[in-house]
Amino acid sequence: MQIGSLVRITDVGPEDTRGIGTVLKFDMYNSKRPYPAKSVVDLAHITLHVKSGERITEVLWSDAHIGWVLQKRLEVLNEIR
């Protein structure tokens, strides 16, 4: 899975309008914090990432809604090349 890939959410309920979407970006979610943990870039341009947590993916859904979802809940339908 990479940015631009076409994905489908695997455990969507019947009332949920999310179905198929395009991956916009990735991040990590640390359950000890109430928000996604962003990467930090220092002055030497070294990127530091949070080592614990779960991978999350920002998706532009077919209903024009943008939202975050756990990456493990997504299935890749078409990988961008």
81 pLDDT band (50/70/90 cuts)? confident
Percent of the chain at pLDDT > 90 equals 46
32 pLDDT band (50/70/90 cuts)? low
Segment 58-75 mean pLDDT: 93
Whole-number Cα distances in Å, 30 to 3, 17, 54, 81? 21, 26, 6, 30
- For residue 16, the model assigns a pLDDT of 82
For the beta carbon of residue 47, count every other beta carbon within 10 angstroms.
Answer: 8
